[in-house]
Amino acid sequence: MGGLMTDGCRPCVVIWTIFLLSSVMGYKPVIIVHGILDGPRQFEILAKFINQSHPGTSVTTLALYDYIGSMKPLWQQVDGFREAIRPIMESTDDGVHLICFSQGGLICRGVLATLPTHNAHSLILLSSPLAGQYGDSSYLKHFFPKFIKSRLYHFCYTTCGQRISICNYWNDPHQRERYLKSSIYLAPLNGEIEHANSTAWRDSFLRIQTLVLIGGQDDGVITPWESRSLQRFISSRDIEHQKFEMYSLSDAFGLKTLNSEGAVVKCVVPGVHHTSWHSNHTVYKNCIDKWLT
C-alpha cells in the first residue's frame, strides 16, 4: 500500500528530517577545545547533548595536543589549534561557536587574539583559569610532587618552567613582580604588561558576540574558583580571604567593553566537580544550550 511507510524507509525520513531542521534553523558549527590531560573522548557526552537539542549541528572536538601533549607550552598549542580552527571558520559565513574547557579556555583566548579574521560568535568557557591558577590540585601533585603552591614560583617563573603549560598561567599573588617579569602567556594575554600586539589582540577579541563564563565554587581544581570569571587577586596578606576584582576595570583586552555591551554572561553552578562540567546536563541546559543558535 503506497500510503504506508515501511520500516526500511523510516531511517531515511529521520535523516532527512534532521537535515531539513538543521537547514531551517541554521545552527552554527560548534568547535570544542579540550583541557589539560583531556582529548576528544571526554567530550562525547557534550557532543550528544548538542545534537539532541540542535539536530544536525556540526560538532568538532579537536584531536590536538591530547593528554600528555597538553603540557606543551601554550603559545605552541595556540599555533596548532589556530591552524585547525581556521578552516572550520572559513567554511561558514555565519560564524561558529567555541566551547573551551579548563586550560582550553586560555588556548581559545590566545587563538582569537591572534586570529584577526575569526568569526567566533559565542565563546563559551567551561571552568577555565582565565585569571590564572594558584592552588594545590591533583594535577599539580602529579607533575610537581616536590612542590607546594607557595614554592612553585621558583620553577614556574623561570625560562625552563615557562615551557610547561601549567606554568604559563601560574599566578602567585605573593610574587607579583616575578609573575609580570616571567609570564610569557597569561600576563600579556590579559594585558597586564604592555606589548606591541596589545591593540591588535584587543580588537580581535572584541569580534566575539557573547562571552559565557561558567564555573562554580565546588570545582575542586581551579583555584581560586573566581578565576573562571576573570577575577584576579587584589592585595591582601590573607589569601584565604582574598577580595577580587575583574580585569574589566582597565579594559586592557576588551572585557570592560564587552561587559558594557551586555555581552558577558556568568553562569555559576554549585556542586559540580571540575571533570564533570562537560558531561553535566544541568550545566548544558542552563549555561550552554541557549547560546548555540
Mean pLDDT of 127-154: 75
Overall average pLDDT of the 161-173 stretch: 95
Verify whether residue 229 is a known catalytic residue.
no
Enumerate domains of the chain plus CATH numbers. Answer: 30-134+195-291 (3.40.50.1820)
Q: How far is CA 145 from CA 142, 152, 190, 223, in A?
A: 6, 10, 29, 18
Least confident interval from 79-88, 119-128, 222-231, 277-286: 222-231
Number of helices and strands in the chain (H, E): 12, 8
Closest to 166 in 3D by CA, of 126, 133, 199, 196: 133
Q: What's the half-sphere exposure (Cβ side, CA atoms, 13 Å) at 31?
A: 31
Task: Name the active-site residue from 70, 102, 183, 204.
Answer: 102
Global pTM value: 0.85
Q: How far apart are CA 215 and CA 219, in angstroms?
A: 7
Average pLDDT along the chain? 85
Residues of the chain with pLDDT > 90, as a percent, come to: 70
**Which one of 118, 204, 219, 229 is the catalytic residue?**
219
Place of cell 571526554: 42
Q: Is there a catalytic annotation at residue 274?
A: yes
Could you give the CA distance from residue 193 to residue 187 in angstroms, rounded to a whole number?
6
Question: Which residue is it, cell 579537536?
Answer: 62
Side-by-side strand order, sheet with 264-268: 59-61, 30-33, 96-101, 120-126, 210-215, 264-268
Is 219 a known active-site residue?
Answer: yes
Which among 34, 118, 121, 274 is annotated as catalytic? 274
Per-residue pLDDT band for 4 (boundaries 50, 70, 90) equals very low
